[in-house]
Amino acid sequence: MSVIKINMIYTELLDIPIKRPHQFSTEKVLEKSFVLIKIELSNGVVGIGEGTTPGIWWNGESVETMKLVIDKYIHPLLINEDITYIERILQRMNRQIRANSFAKATVEMALFDALGKLYKVPVHQLLGALYQDRVPVRWALATGEDKGDIQEAKACIVNNEYVNFKTKSGKEPPEDDAKRNLRIAEGINGISSIGIDPNGSWDRNTTIKWMEHFFEAGIDFLEQPLTPYDMEGAAMLVDMKKVPIMADESLSTVEDAYTLAKEKAANIFSLKIHKSGGMKNTIKIAGIAEAAGISCFGGTSLESSIGTAACLHAFVTISNLDFGSELFGPRWLADDPVKQPLTIKNGFIHIPDKPGLGVEIDEEKVEKYRRKEQGEVIV
């Protein structure tokens, strides 16, 4: 095969509405923004990817910063590079550009999609091949109040969509938050269970106070209850041996994974390809977890079917994904910018078996949701 080089990189911003307001610890959102990337090869193959974050409050990146970094700094590094040397390309990005893991993951996603199409194999075959072909999906309850969350959970179960849940917490004072979560757990007791995700907004004393109550209520896990910087506090919670503690915001890099394992500050790692700079780094982190006896959970940045497919291709290669995933992004959006969204059925999401990521952009939808430049009118 002759050398296939990277010809051009294109990016654009999309704003897609969601089905219902979603309450995070810091804000309630009505739509989700994405940076869509296309990498065109010298033989005409085009790899696609997307970048998105829960919000700039989460790690400091936004779709706007991602687009800027890709257009101004990553684009010049990749032009005329041999697509088959992905690892060399990734290391060059790391050498030339500090941090910006979400932007780098977006680029890596498109590179692997292109390479998979070039070799006519699904991306998971390039990452280590299948351990499983479907992954359980846990739905996030985030209406913002307990009665709404209970009703939503029961409806999901009746409709055979999801069987397990987690709550988005942190908006209220920790004491009130803990009580609200216990009411939700009681409201679906006997039919399902919940994990709790305060997004690092609780304090040590309140969390310790309620751990026994959470244990008695059958709470599945506490995801990042304390600030990401409180490693000592997280280790204290783990040492209580009550509810498993999941690391999310405190876990981004391979080095973070090593430190968390060494300090015994997590029972579960929440894996997210964007926060860790891509699929390859995510798999490395899962390997550290496996060596330390730590379970993994397939986290989400609430991607469309494009980014969700990339997450899934990484997750299906991981043997210690013991807590399933929360890859519900395609169902959470009011629309999906692909021709055929990923399949989520009876609480499982299924891996596509087509070359590359296995999803195809719907250009009409992309045009519909493309962010207008100031003064621009889209006819």
Q: What is the set of active-site residues?
A: 168, 326
Three-state secondary-structure class, residue 13: strand
Helix H or strand E encompassing 225: none
Residue 27, classed as helix, strand or coil, is coil
The residues, ordered by sequence, that sit 6+ positions from 371 with a Cβ below 8 Å of its Cβ are: 12, 13, 14, 15, 33
d(CA 124, CA 132): 11
Sheet with 268-271, edge to edge strand ranges = 139-141, 165-168, 194-197, 222-223, 245-247, 268-271, 295-298
| Angle formed by the axes of helices 204-216 and 174-187, nearest 10° | 10
**Residue 362: left if φ>0, alpha if ψ -120 to 50, beta else—which one?**
beta
Amino acid of residue 6: I
- Rounded to 5 degrees, what are φ and ψ at 137? -120, 130
Question: DSSP secondary-structure letter at 44?
Answer: S
CB atoms within 10 A of CB 38: 17
- Count, residues in the chain: 379
